Structure 1
Amino acid sequence: MSGDCSVSGQCDDPMNTHQADGDDLKTMETETIVEEFVRLKLKQSAGIVQRRRTSTDMETQALIGRLIEISNELEAQYGERLNQDAEMWIKSATYEKFLQIAKGVFSDGIINWSRIVVLFMFAVKVVVNAISKGFSGLAGDVIKFVVKFVFIHGIYKWVESHGGWVISALYRLCTSNLLRSLSKLIIQRPIDFVLTDKFSLCCLNKS
């Protein structure tokens, strides 16, 4: 499932060009989604990620719930590899190293929901590892890095071209039948994660 904007494409960067209130709202919405995804995935570890906003609307909650369901489908296959990459990233904890890993997820230029979820899952793994090692400050850093990557590298453009975060939750991911269909698609076209000497996480779609 590809969109109008590839990872390598030249896209506007709302993170650096807040020319309008709309850009701020898009950034805030995306940051909220990433934060809530991480927080809810770690709900058994209360307080790891503090909620900075008092509440989210029902539509956003529905989206996050669907993304978490997809992540649960992917966890058994890819969770351990993501955890290994998270452990490696914490050793340097720089945006440059994060960028290498994140680009690997979209290495062939294809953007789809399963890969976006994998990016979010990596943030969860970083938070878990950071807390266990006493580096709780990295939790906020990796969330900011994910949001920055989403805007700079065309992920948000793709989401927007598919109706936006919330519309996607309501019309693309809102039924169990659709979720099962998506899971079958993921199984039929698995994503293999290969750790390389460049400290990146490469994802290859098999035909």
Structure 2
Amino acid sequence: MMPTSPSSRIVLVTGPTKSGKSEWAETLAMQSGKSVIYIATAQTNADDPEWQQRISQHRDRRPADWLTVEAPENLIETITTAPSSCCLLVDSLGTWVANLLEQDSITWAATEQNLILSLERLDNKDVIVVAEEAAWGVVPAYASGRLFRDRLGQLVRRLGAVANSVYLIAGGHVLNLSLLGSPLPTPLNEKR
């Protein structure tokens, strides 16, 4: 793992649905003291009012001075081209993975690797990534559900290995896994 520069930081905030992940990530972004760029990976859908309401709730909660960039597919480019000395808040990794689910396994492996490399090569930026824990339930009965769960789970694990801090939000509590736990070794098939 290539360390980020001393003035850069990667934070992973993970947990189940409606646990408060986004709120905790927003709190961390406000505490960074840097200008915040909120990177939204969700795609709007006028035919889905409930989805639009979820997006509006997130939008309404953010401070007015935060810049919002929609990056449903071009997350890597958005991270690498963002200005230095800022805090990027990516919400959410699961939505981004879902948006790219049609990629074949070879293309996805390259995409996943490029995301990790872009985070390892930060230029005086903080990046806070919100990610869902999608694999705490039963194995999905359909192939696309299993593919999504496996890709997101693997990516969250890889991101956790390069993050400076990892938080789990569960049961209305914030747990700093970086202080409470020990990282797993990198599997041999993932070592560079």
Work out whether the TM-score is over 0.5: no
TM bracket, shorter-chain basis: under 0.3
Structure whose residues are more often strand by fraction: 2
Q: What TM-score, normalized by structure 2, do the two folds share?
A: 0.28
TM-score by length of 1: 0.26
